[in-house]
Amino acid sequence: MSSKEGKVAVDLTAGIVGRWKETYQWIPIFGAFATVAVAFSAGANNLTAPFSTPVGSGALTLLKASIIVCLICVPGAAFTSKSTVDSLFADFLKESQPDAGFLMWSLVVALITAAIWLAVATYWDLPVSSQQSIQSALLGTILVTEGFGYIPLWNKSENHNFNGGGLLWISLEWTVAPLIACLCSYVFFKLSRAFLLRSEDAEKRILIFLPIDYGISTGLLCLLVIFQINGNIISINTWLTIVAVLVATLVGAMLSLVVMVSLTIKKSNDIPNCRREFLRQSMKRKRGVGTHHYRIRFHDSQQQIQDFQQTQSVSQKSSTDQLTQLKQLLESTPNRLVQTRNFQRIEKRTLTSDASTYIRKFAISIIRPVIEYDRRTLVRHALAEKNDEMEDFFSFPHLLASCIFVYVYSVFVLQFSIEVAAIASPYAAILDVFDHRNKYVRNGEDVEYVHVEWWFRAISRLVAAMGFFLCGWRLTRCLGGKLTYMSNSRGLASQLSSVAAVMMVTRMNLPASSIHAFVGSLLGVGMIDDIRNVNWKLVLKFLGGWILTVIFSCGIACVIFSASVHSPGYAVP
């Protein structure tokens, strides 16, 4: 009898779970499309930060930048990125929701709201944080169930342990990281211009500086890798970290020094050969001057006679042409002149030809978009100090710094420093709620780490790269030249300063957005020439967009989720 009752209980439980999954299986499907939309919009908006300066300075094209994004982001996200949901969504899953179905739907609402806002912000040329957009949307869904008195002013409150940040916490995100990046870029470019670009022996000093820069970049990359594996794979001692970073810095500097010395020796060997060739050619020209002097004088006299004869023939021909035209005019109608019309052959247009023409023009506009600036922007570019002869030396270090910034953007596992990682976390949480409903019955007390599959992380980065390739030209134009004048040396300063600011702020356990830090670094670089070389109207527009991110995302998510919660429905056992 007991076995029969146990069998009935198991069958009843299986039937309940089956009906629950059949009812809510559309939520993971719909959430997948929403996640793809967020990834595409985030790529068009956030991925422009690392490569807007190389494209704006002419070191890269938009197509090459998109290829580099795919080569760095997709493998990095698949194999070296964080494989668990971050603390933001782990704490949100423990918040009280009416039902596990509404918990999944609240995450979908957050994704939909973030996708809408990121698309609108990209259209308005506003660089905003995708992570902050999802944070604000999640806060809007909590307000529906808990009320407006639930809004925290700081990171934690007595009501909950929501680690997404309160109002003051988000305000720090707008101020601390951009200010540090602005100060770092100002000091970095001020020193580089004083000791490198403006010096009399600028080329020699730059050649000495480049191995140092390569060494710093190598050490910084080693530090990022150590932060990635420390605690996740193995535990690394502090002194071992310092030794590894120093060794990587020395190795990078020595290897680049060997390359620079070999190139310098090759160039120095080519200079005497060029001088000897120039002297030999000049001696040949001097010998030929005396030999051909009489021949040139005779040729000049013959040429003058020929020019005089041609002038007489042309004058006679022009007078004859004038008489002919006058005769034709007199032979025409005496009362009115007859105007002739030249008819061109009109080719018959078909729907297929129009479609092919449109597709061809559209493809050209995507692959090679024309980035144009208005008159005021061109005036600011003209007033900026330029060192075009020396800028080519900074092209490769600039690209290397951009690649490191991409690595920080998509792979670096420091709290609050990941933008694209916020895309995969909600969908991973949706799948975990759908597959393990019982863990979320008692307000998520049994919730542990939610793992994100490697293939889903790779797909999200690939979609983000596609968004950057198709729609990233808007913010690339905005950040790469419309805000201030951009060159390779300025881009190097802004990229390294952004990476340094993100690392410093996150190590202080403060929130940091990479896109906000990058805007601050551009301000520091632009103010060095003149404070008027910065488009301050655009800066105010950016600040308004960052404030509007919280208001729009929180409000739209609150409206959508409120309509879902209070709409008529039925309960699923």
- Residues 6 or more apart whose CB falls under 8 angstroms from that of 506 comprise 414, 415, 416, 417, 512
Tokens (6 digits) for 337: 């002149």
291, pLDDT greater than 80: no
Cα angle value 437/424/461 (rounded, 5°):
155
Task: Read off the pLDDT band of 47 (50, 70, 90).
Answer: confident
Q: Quote the pLDDT of residue 289.
A: 45
Burial letters 365-387, b for 16+ CB under 10 A, else e: eeeebeeeeeeebeebbeebeeb
Q: Which span out of 21-25, 69-73, 125-129, 438-442 was modeled with the highest average pLDDT?
A: 125-129
The residues with which 234 forms a beta bridge, in sequence order, are 230
CB-based contacts of 365-374 (< 8 A; 24+ apart in sequence): 366/469, 366/470, 367/63, 368/61, 368/62, 368/63, 369/62, 369/473, 371/55, 371/56, 371/473, 371/476, 371/477, 371/480, 371/481, 372/477, 373/477, 373/481, 373/482
Strands (E), 116-217: none
Q: Quote the pLDDT of residue 318.
A: 52
161, pLDDT greater than 60: no
Evaluate whether 431 touches 21 at the Cβ level (below 8 Å).
no
- The DSSP result for 438-478, as a single string, is GGGTTTTTT--PPB--HHHHHHHHHHHHHHHHHHTHHHHHI
Burial letters 221-239, b for 16+ CB under 10 A, else e: bbbbbbbbebeeeeeeeee
Ranking 34-48, 180-194, 476-490, 555-569 by mean pLDDT, the lowest is 555-569
Ranking 364-373, 509-518, 547-556 by mean pLDDT, the lowest is 364-373
Q: At 542, which helix (H) or strand (E)?
A: helix 536-565
Nearest to 421 by CA among 228, 557, 181, 554: 228
Distance (Å, rounded) from C-alpha 263 to C-alpha 257? 10
Nearest to 146 by CA among 443, 573, 430: 443
Distance (Å, rounded) from C-alpha 481 to C-alpha 492? 15
Phi-psi category of residue 128: left, alpha or beta, with phi > 0 → left and psi -120 to 50 → alpha: beta
Distance (Å, rounded) from C-alpha 486 to C-alpha 377? 11
Ranking 305-319, 334-348, 363-377, 550-564 by mean pLDDT, the lowest is 334-348
Q: Quote the pLDDT of residue 183.
A: 92
* pLDDT tens sequence across 475-516: 888 888 888 888 888 888 888 888 888 878 877 777 777 888
Phi-psi category of residue 82: left, alpha or beta, with phi > 0 → left and psi -120 to 50 → alpha: beta
Evaluate whether 440 touches 100 at the Cβ level (below 8 Å).
yes
Q: Quote the pLDDT of residue 113.
A: 92
Ranking 71-75, 79-83, 401-405 by mean pLDDT, the lowest is 79-83
459 residue type, one letter: I
Distance (Å, rounded) from C-alpha 465 to C-alpha 206? 34
Task: Read off the pLDDT band of 14 (50, 70, 90).
Answer: very low
Question: How high does pLDDT run on average in the chain?
Answer: 71
* pLDDT tens sequence across 436-445: 766 665 555 5
Rounded-to-10 torsion of CA 207, 212, 217, 218: 110
Rounded-to-10 torsion of CA 65, 69, 72, 74: -160
453 residue type, one letter: E
- The DSSP result for 492-527, as a single string, is HHHHHHHHHHHHHHHHTT----HHHHHHHHHHHHHH
Mean pLDDT of all residues in 57-68: 79
Burial letters 419-444, b for 16+ CB under 10 A, else e: bbbbbbbbbbbbbbbbeebebbeeeb
Q: Indicate the burial class of 55 (C-beta count within 10 angstroms; 0-12, 13-18, 19 or more).
A: buried
472, pLDDT greater than 60: yes
pTM: 0.72
170, pLDDT greater than 70: no
378, pLDDT greater than 50: yes
Q: Quote the pLDDT of residue 116.
A: 92
Torsion angles phi and psi, residue 546, rounded to 5: -65, -40
Q: Quote the pLDDT of residue 343.
A: 46
First to last CA, the chain: 26
Burial letters 455-492, b for 16+ CB under 10 A, else e: ebbbbbbbbbbbbbbebbbbbbbbbbbbbbbbbbbbbb
339, pLDDT greater than 50: no
Q: Provide the 10 A C-beta neighbour count for residue 280.
A: 10
- Residues 6 or more apart whose CB falls under 8 angstroms from that of 176 comprise 505, 510, 511, 512
- Residues 6 or more apart whose CB falls under 8 angstroms from that of 182 comprise 497, 520, 521, 523, 524
Q: 3-class secondary structure for 269-326?
A: HHHHHHHHHHHHHHHHHHHHHHHCHHHHHHHHHHHHHHHHHHHHHHHHHHHHHHHHHH
